[in-house]
Copies of this chain bind each other. A is one copy, B any other.
Amino acid sequence: MSEQNTSAIAGPVLIIGSGLLGASVGLGLRAQGAKVFVSDVSPTVEAVAQDIGAGISVRAEAARHGSSETQPAKVLTEQPQLVVVAAPPDVTAALVIEALEDFPEATVIDIASVKGPILHEVLASGVDASRYVGTHPMAGRERSGPVAARGELFTSRPFVICRHDAARAESVRLAQTLGVELGSTITYLSVEEHDRSVALISHVPQVMSSLLASRLQETPLYALGLAGQGLRDTVRIAASDPGLWIQILSANAEPVVQTLYGVRDDLERLIATLENPTAPGARLDIAQLMSEGNAGVARIPGKHGGSPTAFAHLTVLVDDTPGQIARLLHEIGELGVNLEDLRLEHSPGQPVGMAELAVNPNEHDKLVQDLTSAGWKVVR
């Protein structure tokens, strides 16, 4: 961590809410040398955020001046240039409004994962909203709290900025600077575009994964023992925190439910088809659902924004012993081949697995040849 301030944000930054995301923002900005204060409703969370280097605790700053004050506005002697509200969605708007009132010169940014309801509440409050900009750094972890924070959490991840008509250019620029300093990829969307987008790419997938995983509650264990990678991948995000998702789904209910209507229609149609699977047209109905799924998944951009089908795949059989995969990847690296993707596949109770590798198509054949020559069990 550099002590020199190379940050483009000259003034102090105040982070309100110093859990996983707030503390990660703090760590990211501190790494650029910015002066950061952290504040949290929980004294412990605030203290841990300071301990891991995310910024100066507002309570600690107060104590330095012999005060037991906990409100940033009453503690900070220097006005923050930027306030980042990194609190749960259901309290975000209130904290944004309070910060706009407390710090009449500061730009106030929030990073909650739903944007429309917050903007509307801020605008409706009558506060000076020209200094408010909503953002959504699209990253998270399956754990929470400042202990899980890391400065690189937002590196290479999309950072959505939701401009609004009342926002001043200077505040929007500051939001962009924040995204850049966190190493993110900036995208500008309206709050409506943002909320509809995350409904489709994040909130409905979460619902579908949870709906499916819920069915596993009564599945016999012998059946679960047969589970392969398909099931594991499909239900992975069903392990997410219910507390957070209550807030997200409540706040973004309308775009989510609009998409779920489409799911319900397709599901009703499939159920009717499967209730009478030998009826004329039944097979065509199933084919149509499957083909529509094919068409949908094909539209997701691949890594590096490339076409999802642009890579060639090969599979290598690996023993499950220390260093085996390393040795494989070392040899691939020695051959100068860049691995575009890697997936390990295992089965319960067995010490052998498959490494599925994705590479550029023009490197595929030679790699298969070279690895085979080197004694690896390679399959296309």
Contacts and interface: CB of A to CB of B under 8 A. Distances in A.
Interface of A: 138-139, 147-148, 150, 152, 155-158, 160, 183, 185, 187, 189, 193, 196-198, 200-202, 204-217, 219-228, 230-243, 245-246, 249-250, 253-254, 256-257, 259-264, 266-268, 270-271, 274-275, 277-278, 282-283, 286-287, 289-306, 315, 317, 320-334, 336-339, 341-342, 344, 346-354, 377, 379-380
Contacts of A299: 216-217, 219, 221, 224
A249 B275 CA distance: 11
14 contacts: A139-B228, A158-B226, A200-B216, A211-B289, A213-B296, A214-B262, A214-B295, A214-B296, A217-B299, A225-B305, A246-B283, A246-B286, A246-B290, A253-B277
B205 A208 contact: no
Contacts of A262: 214-215
A235 to B, nearest CB: 5
Given A208-B211, A322-B339, 6 more contacts: A157-B347, A202-B228, A214-B262, A232-B300, A304-B351, A323-B333
Given A245-B290, A325-B329, A350 B267 contact: no
Nearest to A156: B350
Contacts of A240: 290, 294
Contact of A267 (B264, B292, B352): B264
B344 A342 contact: yes
A338 B353 contact: no
Given A267-B260, A329-B329, A333-B327, A234 B210 contact: no
Contacts of A241: 290
Contact of A293 (B219, B235, B256, B350): B235
A179 to B, nearest CB: 13
Number of copies of this chain in the oligomer?
A: 2
B350 A185 contact: yes
Contacts of A380: 147-148
A48 to B, nearest CB: 13
Nearest to A242: B290
Given A156-B352, A253-B277, A211 B266 contact: yes
By secondary structure, the A interface counts as helix
Given A150-B379, A260-B267, A294 B201 contact: no
A333 B338 CA distance: 20
Contacts of A205: 212, 230-231, 234-235
A342 to B, nearest CB: 5
A204 to B, nearest CB: 6
Contact of A326 (B139, B201, B213, B333): B333
A276 to B, nearest CB: 8
A193 B222 contact: yes
A297 B239 contact: yes
A230 B206 contact: yes
Contacts of A212: 204-205, 208, 263, 293, 296
A10 B350 CA distance: 27
B296 A245 contact: no
A270 B261 CA distance: 11
Given A292-B214, A323-B330, A326-B330, A298 B225 contact: no
A347 B183 CA distance: 12
A274 B249 contact: yes
Contact of A234 (B196, B209, B256): B209
